[in-house]
Chains A and B, each alone.
Chain A
Amino acid sequence: MRQKTVAVVGASETTGLGTIATMSQIQLHADAALNAMADCGLTAKDIDGVACATETPVQIAHYLGIKPSWVDGTAVGGCSFMIHVRHAAAAIEAGLCKTVLITHGESGKSRIAQIPRTIPAGSLNGQFEQPFGPMGPPSLFPIPVLRFMKKYGVTHEQMAMVSVVQREWAGKNPRATFKDPITTDDVLNSRMIAYPFRILQCCLVSDGGGALILTSSDRAKDFPTKPVYILGTGESVESPMVSQMADFTSSQAFSIAGPTAFREAGIAHKDVDHLMIYDAFAHLPLYGLEDLGFVGRGEAASFIAGRNTAPGSKLPLNTNGGGLSYAHSGMYGMFALQESVRQMRGIAPAQIPGAKISVCHGVGGMFSASGTIIFSNEPN
């Protein structure tokens, strides 16, 4: 894909965030979509492409009254939205459609008309993981952590600093669910969920969503908001089973998606002003920093503990507070994308002054999938 041929022209989260007892899951999609349309002055009749994950594009197109000529229902977990952006940009460039709406809505907390996630007993997960007692992501996603800690000599205190630093960012964001400062002692004394991880190292559970509207860059200047250009993209998948990931200290999917996006963007790591790494659990920023090449192998824990991603640092990471402190509906990737777009527009609560390039890296499932989007706010 060529650089900056496609731009985000509309972006918004749901009106509410956290506990939204007045909306079903599909209405969360619609609320975010209508906000994004209002953001760029469009209505459903202007949209000809639809992508979404928790609901199908059929449901969303019908509910919103869109007659699409292109749809994408890629649903590979929380990074589906990064992959939607990648596919949408390629589709717009190829002329398959002109204006794409990507929606996310998830009643993760209130569970109003949420589509249940079931694991068939005859699937590989059903036969070779479920009988051994996992119950959802908190019991599965941290399984590789002890191997990572042993290989690189990471301490529990270093790992706890991921949560501490992200809470500092959340403290700057009025919309964040948790804003009060925490210490490593607070993290290491919080309720044990799945050793080595405690509750403050696990993501929130929220209701909410978001939507993006993309179109070709030559049209982008006609919209009221500052265009945010797609500079580079990448995607990959590995395994549905965390027990079968090839390397417990590195994600194969990260290692394909991230470098693909960097190659496409033609940028170096020193060019990155702002970084989002999907943090469903506290180890993910470590894997992301290393697999995307921001630090060397085994260096991420001391890098974060040394405040190199904290407010005031050269590599601001998860500036909305992340899935650990901002919000997490189940599939968090849309919220990471929204923060990257806000930073590129210059309107984020914890705005990085002069930020020109933002990298937004997502995970899906338990290291099962990945998508990376690199944004720029400077036209060609």
Chain B
Amino acid sequence: MSDDQRPRPQPTPETQYFWDGTKAGELRLQKCGDCEKVYFPPRPFCPACSSRNVATMAASGKASLYSYVIHHRKVPGFTPPYAIAVVELAEGPRMMTNIVDCPQTPQALVLDMALEVTYHKMDDEISLPLFRPAKG
């Protein structure tokens, strides 16, 4: 993949901690101090109980493959066919990502397979969280 052409995310004041995390090699989630809900995507309040008493936390980076498509059309920054996947993090939330270090085929991409996070540096500010088959 020639990743420089990927759509570049623009951090906002509410999401900056997440992108600071991936830049530092850490996948950060948020957890509610009142109801203990762990959630994603970023918001400075709890979507389960509306509390503003939330804190960031480092996720384990462990995940499983929840669902995906293998896209066959041309998109700038991607070489088809490539999987657009949703993974379920060990902490519970799901996120969209790509699966790397793995053939982009239905045979290789098996639902519920164990994955681990890896980071793809787009530029000095943005590193994207991608996932690869878990080692060991």
A interface residue numbers (CB < 8 A to B) = 119-122, 124, 126-135, 138-140, 142-147, 150, 191-197, 241, 243-244, 248
Contact = CB atoms under 8 A, between A and B. Distances in A.
B113 to A, nearest CB: 12
A241 to B, nearest CB: 7
A38 B70 CA distance: 47
B20 to A, nearest CB: 13
A195 B68 CA distance: 8
Nearest to A191: B72
B122 to A, nearest CB: 8
Interface of B: 6-12, 15, 40-41, 66-73, 75, 77-78, 81-82, 84-86, 94-98, 106, 111, 122, 128
Given A121-B8, A150-B111, A243-B86, A129 B67 contact: no
Contacts of A139: 69, 71, 73, 75, 84
29 contacts: A120-B10, A121-B8, A122-B9, A122-B12, A127-B10, A128-B96, A130-B7, A132-B128, A133-B71, A135-B73, A138-B73, A139-B73, A143-B84, A143-B86, A145-B67, A146-B68, A191-B72, A192-B72, A193-B72, A194-B69, A194-B71, A194-B72, A194-B73, A195-B69, A195-B70, A196-B106, A197-B69, A241-B41, A243-B96
A122 B69 CA distance: 24
Residue from A145, A192, A244 whose CB has the most chain B CB atoms within 10 Å: A244
Residue from B7, B11, B66, B78 whose CB has the most chain A CB atoms within 10 Å: B7
A127 B54 CA distance: 21
Contact of B41 (A119, A144, A146, A244): A244
Contacts of A248: 66-67, 86
A163 to B, nearest CB: 17
Given A119-B7, A143-B68, A195-B106, 19 more contacts: A121-B8, A124-B41, A128-B95, A135-B71, A138-B73, A139-B75, A139-B84, A140-B84, A143-B67, A143-B69, A145-B69, A146-B68, A146-B69, A147-B67, A192-B81, A194-B69, A196-B106, A243-B86, A248-B67
Nearest to B97: A132
A129 to B, nearest CB: 5
A11 B69 CA distance: 38
Given A147-B111, A243-B96, A121 B10 contact: yes
Chain A interface mostly helix, strand, loop or mixed?
mixed
A52 B85 CA distance: 34
A133 B98 CA distance: 8
A133 B10 contact: no
Contacts of B69: 139, 142-143, 145-146, 194-197
